[in-house]
């Protein structure tokens, strides 16, 4: 008797499994929580549509104690998940952003973007840029969202993300350096365990064929038209436009046990070597793995990372 089990085309456990019949089984990142006033952090949030044609929203966050006319630094955040899973509305990201807003006293725009495989790259990049242009429409205080009109300081704008979201944050930094967002001063970019890679190992990066194949296959799955792992969209050090990164400060977080750790250090090295001109710093967390701060936010290392991040946003 023939098996009724569908055949697997791609197994990216513990993230997702894709079957040959086209079914996508996301194994994590499916839960969502509504926006709310969080009693623990006293941070308020709400969802606003920025792309009606693609049914995409941003989740806005603001400290509840902000006073009338008070301007706060503005962070635009891009979630991780290999370009395939998670959203700004998952408990993982909602709780993290609440804590970050409370610690740093900032306004946050957390961006939803289309995900692979239903929408392959460059859709996520295109959506993220559209979200940034939506944010920039508030520069003169006449945009569609009052929280941004009243409280966002467009002289102190930051981009950030984790993993694939850090990859997007970097890309948005390059794109805004080339195309400019009028009235928006991108002060800094924070990359948390960025999803960067390359054909050849760098530093003490693993040479294990199975591990490298997993990362490469995931990238090609998310972006079928890519030229490979030396595509500048995953290997930014080969990007001719790297020096156009549109900020004056970059903070890169890496984790010692993360497969991507050496790549973050290499990015830092190359920014210095090309004479980019801004400040770039790496903060390595010993004994931790990829995006540990999201899964164990109460841990000592996660709290240290949160404080380091907040200090970066608050620095004059």
Question: Taking 70 as the threshold, does the pLDDT of residue 19 lie above it?
Answer: yes
pLDDT at 275: 87
290 is catalytic: yes
Q: What is the pLDDT of residues 188-216, one digit of tens each?
A: 999 999 999 999 999 999 999 999 999 99
Question: Taking 90 as the threshold, does the pLDDT of residue 3 lie above it?
Answer: no
Q: What is the pLDDT of residues 22-67, one digit of tens each?
A: 999 999 999 999 999 999 999 999 999 999 999 999 999 999 999 9
Distance CA 19, CA 255 (A): 32
CATH number 3.30.1300.10 is the correct assignment for the domain at 35-314:
no
Question: Are 202 and 195 spatial neighbours (Cβ–Cβ below 8 Å)?
Answer: no
What is the residue extent of each domain of the chain?
A: 1-30, 35-314
Which is the catalytic residue, given 79, 151, 170, 290? 290
Question: Are 251 and 267 spatial neighbours (Cβ–Cβ below 8 Å)?
Answer: no
Which is the catalytic residue, given 57, 163, 176, 246? 163
The phi, psi pair for 261, rounded to 5°, reads: -55, -50
Which is the catalytic residue, given 44, 94, 258, 293? 258
Distance CA 229, CA 208 (A): 16
Q: Please list, in sequence order, all residues whose beta carbon lies within 8 angstroms of the beta carbon of residue 284, skipping any fewer than 6 positions away.
A: 253, 254, 255, 256, 261, 265
Distance CA 133, CA 128 (A): 9
Distance CA 38, CA 316 (A): 28
**Residues facing residue 3 across a β-bridge:** none
Tokens matching residue 193: 């365990």
163 is catalytic: yes
Q: Which helix or strand (DSSP H or E) is residue 261 part of? A: helix 261-273
Distance CA 124, CA 224 (A): 14
Q: Greater confidence, 86 or 277?
A: 86
């Amino acid at each position: 008797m023939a098996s009724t089990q569908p055949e697997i085309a791609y197994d990216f456990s513990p993230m997702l499994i894709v079957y040959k019949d086209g079914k996508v089984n996301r194994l994590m990142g499916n839960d969502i929580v509504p926006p709310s006033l969080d009693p623990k952090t006293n941070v308020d949030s709400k969802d606003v549509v920025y792309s009606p044609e693609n049914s995409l929203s941003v989740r806005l966050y603001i400290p509840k104690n902000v006073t009338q006319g008070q301007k706060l630094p503005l962070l635009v955040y891009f979630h991780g998940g290999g370009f395939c899973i998670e959203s700004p509305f998952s408990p993982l990201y909602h709780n993290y952003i609440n804590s970050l807003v409370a610690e740093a006293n900032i306004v946050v725009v957390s961006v939803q973007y289309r995900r692979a495989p239903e929408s392959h790259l460059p859709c996520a990049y295109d959506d993220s840029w559209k979200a940034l242009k939506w944010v920039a429409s508030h520069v003169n205080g006449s945009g569609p969202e009052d929280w941004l009109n009243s409280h966002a300081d467009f002289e102190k704008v930051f981009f950030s993300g984790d993993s694939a979201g850090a990859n997007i944050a970097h890309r948005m930094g390059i794109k805004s350096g080339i195309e400019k967002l009028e009235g928006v001063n991108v002060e800094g970019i924070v990359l948390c365990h960025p999803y960067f890679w390359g054909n050849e190992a760098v530093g003490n990066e693993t040479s294990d064929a199975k591990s490298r194949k997993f990362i490469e296959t995931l990238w090609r799955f998310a972006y079928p038209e890519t030229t490979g792992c030396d595509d500048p969209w995953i290997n930014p050090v080969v990007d001719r436009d790297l020096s156009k990164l549109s900020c004056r400060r970059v903070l890169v977080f890496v984790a010692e046990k993360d497969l991507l750790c050496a790549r973050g250090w290499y990015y830092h090295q190359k920014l210095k070597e090309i004479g980019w001109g801004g400040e770039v710093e790496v903060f390595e967390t010993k004994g931790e793995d990829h995006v540990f701060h999201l899964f164990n936010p109460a841990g000592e290392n996660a709290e240290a990372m949160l404080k380091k991040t907040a200090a970066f946003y608050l620095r004059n």
